[in-house]
Amino acid sequence: MVVLLYLGACTSRIFSMTHWKVRTFLALLTPLLALFPVLYMEGAFVVSTANWAGGSGDFNYFSMNLLAPFAPGYTGSPQGTSYDSLFVSPVALAAGGQYEGNNYLGFGVLLLLFLTLVGRLISIFGCPNRGRQSNVFDRRLIQVWLPLSMVTLVLTMIAASNHVSLGKTVLFTIPLSSSMLRYCEIFRSSGRFFWPTYYLILWMTIRSCRTLFSRNVAIFSGIVHAALTFQAVDLTQYLQHYATIFHSVSAYKSPLQSSFWRRALTHYHNILYFPPEDTSYYIPLGLESAPLQVGINVAYKARSDPKVVAREHRQIDGELNRGELRDGALYVFKDKDYFDRLKASMAGKTCLLREVDGFYVAGLVPVQF
């Protein structure tokens, strides 16, 4: 989103230049040149380019419905989003993940937008001097509004994805090759890409209203206050719903209650959980290992490389089956078959092999309870 907005700003800047200067172009290009080093430092290229996009069809599944700005949507039961708006009933959506594209503007904003559009049309067709402003309008159109409109159009197209839907109906599908679709998966929750357009609509609506009533501040103030009132009332149930959730108090209780874990991790420098693709217990294991600076092989990641995970799975599976444990590694798993095989293969050896808090643990350094 930021890159596209910046490109639009660069285009607007270039259009408005009267003298072409090298330093101006360098100033515009410098942030773009820093893009890839920043992505590298964030770890974007740790995952191979063949898998970083995901490839699971999220681009279509988490898209935005064209009705999203005008009404809340639901994918299962309408009761699930009935609290989103007091005045507007939720509409059924075409894809189950289109809640990611929930961009409802609110009744107050929609009302203000409607009044502003009507007022603008009246102003345009009823203004005898509109021809005198054409040159200024054309210049600003090219310099500012055309680049900005193109950026928001691209962002909206990404949000709608190649399966363009209106309510429950898929209006049309833009055919994409498998390679093109794979790169579109980079956007994943594509419905979120409407956010800049959403904020532009809010800003333009209020700005246009102020322009229409620039000579009468009282009328402008009254209209905006009325719109804000409708907006607040419309979203009352929504705000109350999330206020209840966010004000609720809960305490996390780790399934790892034994003092064994803290004692054992002073003898090991790495936790190897099996299977590594299971992220169910990365939080309790991480809470035990992180304070002692002990490594861990599982975590919840936005994008992961399935080839790396599969290789790790095979390696740990072989080590547990053969009883060839790594030095300094504490193996944690829940499968009793592995535990029984380890007991048989490591019989007579001095090692750690126990059941703790519903997990089986194994390692080369024995630890006493």
By residue range, what is the domain housing residue 153? 48-245
Query: What is the SS3 assignment for 355?
Result: strand
> Strand ranges (DSSP E) for 191-350?
270-274, 295-296, 329-333
Asked whether residue 250 is domain-assigned, the answer is no
167 & 298 share domain = no
Task: Tell me which residue of 142, 140, 155 sits closest to 5, measured CA to CA.
Answer: 155
d(CA 71, CA 146): 28
Structural domains counted in the chain: 3
- Residues 64, 209: one domain? yes
Q: How far apart are CA 24 and CA 5, in angstroms?
A: 18
For residues 316 and 172, state if they share a domain. Answer: no
The reply to whether 91 and 179 lie within a common domain is: yes
Burial 240-250 (b: 16+ CB within 10 A, else e): eeeeeeeeeee
Question: Both 173 and 29 in a single domain?
Answer: no
Q: For the chain, what is the radius of gyration of the CA atoms?
A: 29
Q: Which residues touch 108 (CB under 8 Å, ≥6 apart)?
A: 227, 228, 229, 230, 231, 232, 234
Is 346 within the bounds of a domain?
A: yes
Is 167 in the same domain as 39?
no
Residues 54, 191 within the same domain: yes
Asked if the structure places residue 369 within a domain, the reply is no
Distance CA 369, CA 358 (A): 15
Q: Are residues 63 and 92 in the same domain?
A: yes
Residue-level pLDDT, tens digit, the chain, 369 residues: 988 898 888 888 887 777 777 877 788 888 888 888 988 888 777 776 555 555 556 788 899 999 999 999 988 888 888 899 999 999 999 888 898 999 999 999 999 999 998 888 887 777 655 545 545 556 666 677 888 889 999 999 999 999 999 999 999 999 988 888 877 877 878 999 999 999 999 999 998 888 888 888 888 899 999 999 999 999 999 999 999 988 888 889 999 999 999 999 999 999 999 999 999 999 999 999 999 999 999 998 877 778 888 999 999 999 999 989 999 999 999 999 999 999 988 887 888 999 999 999 999 988 766
